[in-house]
Amino acid sequence: AQSVSQHNHHVILSEAASLELGCNYSYGGTVNLFWYVQYPGQHLQLLLKYFSGDPLVKGIKGFEAEFIKSKFSFNLRKPSVQWSDTAEYFCAVKGNTGGFKTIFGAGTRLFVKA
Amino acid sequence: DTEVTQTPKHLVMGMTNKKSLKCEQHMGHRAMYWYKQKAKKPPELMFVYSYEKLSINESVPSRFSPECPNSSLLNLHLHALQPEDSALYLCASSQGGGAPYNEQFFGPGTRLTVL
């Protein structure tokens, strides 16, 4: 069965600090990977996605993620966070077979201190 | 228009009430989804419609009844809910065909409270 594990449930950083949020998945086939973000009071929106090609994926707002197939990982990174990055971040996995089902990780709440 | 709209934003209902949640998108997407999200938890898939046909039902209790009248609209009919059904109900859509790399576009949700 598919599963997604996010290692950090709560992260507190100061502005300009670097960010790395861990995501590991379990799935026995080809996967498509997503990071979604939920800013306070706003709806879930896509940060970035990977489905093939270059394993280093760049998304909106300076975020990037690296797919490491051998480690079943898709960690999210940002070199320098801003206060406006305070949000909840969800890693999600969709198998290449099995249609529409997307499995979300438990989420990581990031708080950036100004 | 890259928006998914949901109405109402908030809903309070008694356990004997019947109510409906509505979702609309005009992006030409042919897959639409209902998720349930409890506080501090990830979204949990409830239903998926593909080309207006129910594609996935994640063993959701029958007190939740989805309906897809056309490719732009998705409803969730609620009847005889329990207090534990209180949650944020999210609607999402994605391009049709089941292409796995298609991301979902989410609405703002309906916050449901069952008394």
Mean pLDDT of B15-42: 93
Give the tens place of pLDDT for each residue, B41-84. 899 999 999 899 998 899 999 999 999 999 899 999 999 999 99
Residue B35: closest CA among B12, B9, B56: B56
Nearest CA in chain B to A47: B103
Strands (E) across A31-101 are located at 31-38, 45-50, 56-58, 64-68, 73-78, 87-95
CB contact under 8 A, A99 and B104: no
- Interface touch A100/B94, C-beta < 8 Å: yes
Q: For residue B105, what is the nearest residue in chain A, using CA coordinates? A: A45
Average pLDDT of the segment spanning A83-110: 88
Among the partner-chain residues A43, A98, A99, the one whose CB lies closest to the CB of B106 is A43
A98, A101, A107 ranked by CB distance to B42: nearest: A107
Tell me how crowded residue B21 is: count the other CB atoms within 10 A of its CB: 22
**Angstrom distance (rounded) from CA A55 to CA A91:** 16
Question: For A35-65, how does the pLDDT look when each residue is reduced to its tens digit (9 = 90+)?
Answer: 999 999 888 999 999 988 999 999 999 999 9
Per-residue pLDDT, averaged over A24-41, amounts to 89
C-alpha dihedral over B55, A103, A40, B39, to 10 degrees? 90
